[in-house]
Each structure stands twice: as structure tokens, then as C-alpha cells.
Amino acid sequence: MSSTSKFSTPGGKSSELPMLKGTHGPECADVRGLYKDAGVFTYDPGYATTASCKSAITFIDGDEGILLYRGYPIEQLAEHSDYLEVCHLLMYGELPTPEESAKFNNIIKQHTMVHENIRDFISGFRYDAHPMAMLVGTVGALSSFYHDSLDINNPKHREISAQRLIAKMPTIASYCHNHSRGLPFMYPDNTLSYVENFTRLMFAVPAEQFEPNPVAVKALELIMILHADHEQNASTSTVRLAGSSGANPFASIAAGIASLWGPAHGGANEAVMNMLDAIQDSGETIDQTIARAKDKNDPFRLMGFGHRVYKNFDPRAKIIQQMCHELLDDLGGDQPMFDLARELEQKTLADDYFKERRLYPNVDFYSGIILRALDIPMSMFTVMFAMSRTVGWISHWMEMHEDPEGRIGRPRQIYTGAARRDYPV
Ligand code: CMC
């Protein structure tokens, strides 16, 4: 039976707010009638207690450290699945049968190449452009190449655009990298898996044979599964908001990429490495770094620690932590920097300030270290996050277009500016 909750204003107006309940998670007061009935808005900067939509894709319980894609725990998907199977799950709601999997893999492979003019387009960026700047521009520009699938009211067009985006992202991402290093653009090799192909696009050169490194492929596959979706985070909400006006999928995903770029979101793993490098260069001890992070007069925060939703250990961080430790033992790599990272991890986990505020290392703390261990340049970290998250963004975009309650996103505000006044004449 549905329940309601009554809201009353001090002025005596009231509104009956229906209480909505999903499969999991807290009840939600449906405030849609509040302004009409009681003449008030709700105020929630950062939308920390606002459900902006109904979604059947991903569930997070931040207190319990639970993350489910279409009901499946992330731990099980990380152990048993692969990235393209997860893409199918997120996009279509179900794990594919073997036949569906073969068909989906085939479709994605058919779309891995990009129009030759996109290669020229990327070549036109300045030699030192940040790969994220190139990515956001190039993905937005895809809408000028694929006119045949831009009717957002046509479900088939929406699906083809989604498949194109998932398929072309590794190609575009690698070209952004190769352009910034003066390396040739490789063509995709469709005999390889999605992730193997990406490593080839990034690291192969035409003059040499290329064999994907299984350790790198395994680590990247895991990172990509863990980053594939995360419900209504800033970039996904941005994709929905941009898409809610009817913007085409490429423009909407470009908006999501722009949102992901910030250091409080997808830029965090790059920020982690910058922080570790700065600690190493300055000779500061980890105890001094931690003291700065705790000092309220110092704006410095430990990058890669804390999460808006997970107030318990980030379940993705738990999975990736193990992979990170194994990889560091296996690969060696930049040992002094990795030793710093381990010391920081251990000391913060034991520190009362971080324990009381439930600030744990998040997924980006470990993914940054893994990507560094795999020799992936720092400027590519957020690009790789965008590549992994494209399926989540486009799944939300598709879901939004199928939602009969969907409306253009248009928040309200509390106006705090000057009161009405007359122009001096
Ligand atoms: N270092 C030191 N203190 C921190 C940190 C940190 N990284 N994060 C939060 N705090 C403190 C903060 O100062 C506040 O202390 P007090 O209660 O004494 O005022 C308390 O913890 C709560 O912080 P908040 O700012 O209210 O928390 P939030 O939920 O608004 O912010 C966050 C979440 C992720 C933006 C923040 O923890 C942060 O800036 N972390 C560093 C950046 C980072 O790693 N971001 C990646 C997040 S995961 C990526 C993703 O899923 O997209």
C-alpha cells in the first residue's frame, strides 16, 4: 500500500507527499506537487538527498559498501565477467546468452574504426593538447559524422549510437594519446578482445609485432568493469541533463566527459599521482602530508580518499586494492613512489581523523597506481575512465529516453541577489 507524508508550511499551506519505494534503498518523498500545493521549493545543493530519476541500472548502498549492476554484485562481476559482457548487462538489463554475447561482440567490432576525417580532426589539435581536451572535442564532433543515427526518438538510432560510442571510444582514446606523443594512429585489430585491442591501439607501432601483455589486459579489464557505471554521479547526471533537452547522444556524452574531467570526480586518479609525485619531490614525510590534510587552515585534501556516497569502504576499492598489491609485487616499477602510496594507505587507515570521518582510500587511489605501474601516462587516466564509463552514460541516456516521466531537467534556485529596483534615469 502506498503511503504519504504531510508537509505543512508555517503559513498553514500543506501538501500530501506520496512516499515512493524502489527495489532497494530508502523511501523517497515525491515532492512534485509541493510547489503547486504549498508554494515552496526544496533546497538541496549538491543534490545529496534528491533522487533525480527512477533507474533500474545500478544500485549503491554507501553505508554498507554495496554496488550492484542490474542486481549483480560488483565483486561477482569482477571475478567472473568481462567488460563487453558488463556492457551488454548495463545496456540491455541482462547478461547475454552465448549467442547474444557473440552477436554483441561482433556488432561492437564492426564499429571500432572511425571515419578517416576523425583521424585528421585529431591531428589538428595542438601538439601539447591534453588528451581529455581532445576527447571531449572529438566525441562532440562525432555528431557531425554520424547523421544517419541522430534521431533520438528512434530506438534503433539510439541503440546504434550507443554501440558506436562503446566501439569507437578505445580508438579515439588511443588517438588522443598517440597524437600527444607524436606516435602513429594504429587501426583496430578485430581479432583481439576489446581490452587487448585497446592496449594495441595505445602501445603498438606499425614497425613491430605486438603481443598484448596478459597482466596489463587483466588489470585494465578489471578497472574498466569497476568504472563502467556508478548511478547518478556528476558526469552521469550531466549526460542526463544535457540529453533531457533532446541533445544528440554524442553531444550528451561529450558533456559527461567534460564533467568527468574535474579532480573531484574522474580527475581524481591523476590528482592522486600528482600528489604522490609532489610528496616525493618535496621530500615531505607521509606524516607531514597527513597533518596538512587534517589542518583546517590548509585547503589541501588527500586525493583518492573519501567519497560522497561511500561512507564505508568503497567496494570497488576493496577489489582493486588486491589487484594493485599483486601488480606492484609482480611488476616492480616506480618502487619509491609505490612505497609512499602504501605508507599513505596504511597510515590513513590507522588515523583517527580519517576513521571518524569514514574517509577510506577510494577506487581512484588504487587505479592511479595501477595505471602508473602499467606505464600509462597520467594525462590518459581520466580518458580511460571516460572510456570505461561510456557504457554507463549511454545506458542512462537510453533509459532516460524510454522513461514516460522524463522531462527536461530544470532545477530551481533560492534567489539571493538584489531586490527589484529601478534603472536610474
Ligand atoms: N582529505 C582530508 N579531509 C577530507 C577529505 C580528504 N580527501 N575528504 C573529506 N574530508 C573531510 C572534510 O574536510 C570534512 O571534514 P569536517 O567534517 O571536519 O569539515 C569531512 O571529511 C567531510 O567531507 P565533505 O567535503 O563533506 O565530503 P563530501 O562527501 O562532500 O566530499 C569528496 C567527497 C570525494 C569530494 C571528498 O572526500 C574529496 O574531496 N576527496 C578527494 C578527491 C577524490 O578522491 N575524489 C574522488 C572521489 S571517487 C571518484 C568517483 O566516484 O567519481
User: Could you tell me which residues are beta bridge partners of residue 59?
Assistant: 68
What pLDDT does 254 receive?
A: 98
State pLDDT tens for residues 112-151. Answer: 999 999 999 999 999 999 999 999 999 999 999 999 999 9
Dist. CA 350 → ligand 1 center (Å): 17
| Average pLDDT of the residues of the chain | 94
* Each residue's pLDDT tens digit, 266-286: 888 888 999 999 999 998 999
**304 CA: nearest ligand 1 atom:** 44
pLDDT band for 309, please (50, 70, 90 cuts). Answer: confident
Cα–ligand 1 centroid distance for 277 (angstroms)? 21
Residues 159-187: tens digit of each pLDDT: 999 999 999 999 999 999 999 999 999 99
Ligand 1 contact, 301 CB (< 6 A): yes
Query: Looking at the predicted structure, is the pLDDT value of residue 334 above 70?
Result: no
Q: Are 66 and 54 in contact, with CB atoms under 8 Å apart?
A: no
- What count of other Cβ atoms lies within 10 Å of the Cβ of residue 2? 8
The atom number, within ligand 1, closest to the CA of 306 reads 37
Residue 329: pLDDT over 80? no
Query: What's the confidence (pLDDT) of residue 369?
Result: 87
Tell me what percent of the residues of the chain surpass a pLDDT of 90.
Answer: 84
Say what the pLDDT of residue 2 is: 67
* Residue 321 predicted with pLDDT over 90: no
Between the CA of 7 and the centroid of ligand 1 the distance, in Å, is 32
Q: Is the CB of 311 under 6 A from ligand 1?
A: no
The answer, yes or no, to whether residue 1 has pLDDT greater than 70, is: no
Expressed in angstroms and rounded, the spacing between residue 302 Cα and the centre of ligand 1 is 8
The answer to whether the CB of 355 is under 6 A from ligand 1 is no
Q: Work out whether strand 66-69 and strand 58-61 pair parallel, antiparallel, or are unpaired.
A: antiparallel
| Rounded distance between C-alpha atoms, residue 263 and residue 382, angstroms | 9
State residue 332's pLDDT score: 64
Q: Residue 238: which of 55, 421, 365, 409 has the closest Cα? A: 409
Residue 330 has pLDDT above 80, yes or no: no
What are 102-120's pLDDT values in tens digits? 999 999 999 999 999 999 9
Read off the pLDDT of residues 48-94 as tens digits, 9 standing for 90 and up: 999 999 999 999 999 899 999 999 999 999 999 999 999 999 999 99
Active site residues per annotation: 265, 307, 364
CA 415 to the chain's CA centroid: 32
Index of the ligand 1 atom closest to the CA of residue 365: 44
Cβ–Cβ under 8 Å, residues 323 and 351: no
Pairing mode, if any, of strands 72-73 and 66-69? antiparallel
C-alpha 221 to ligand 1 mean position (Å)? 27
Average pLDDT (341-370) is 91
Question: Model confidence over 202-250: pLDDT tens digits?
Answer: 999 999 999 999 989 999 999 999 999 999 999 999 999 999 999 999 9
- Whether the per-residue pLDDT at 9 is higher than 90: the answer is yes
Ligand 1 atom nearest 301 alpha carbon = 1
- Say if residue 382 is exposed, middle or buried (CB neighbours under 10 Å; 0-12, 13-18, 19+): buried
Residues 170, 174, 176, 181, Cα dihedral to 10°: 170
Give the global pTM: 0.91
> For ligand 1, atom 44, which residue shows the shortest CA distance?
304
**pLDDT score, position 97:** 98
Separation of alpha carbons 279 and 340, rounded Å: 9
Phi-psi region of 283 (alpha: psi -120 to 50; beta: other; left: phi over 0): left
Protein residue with its CA nearest to atom 26 in ligand 1 = 308
pLDDT of 73: 98
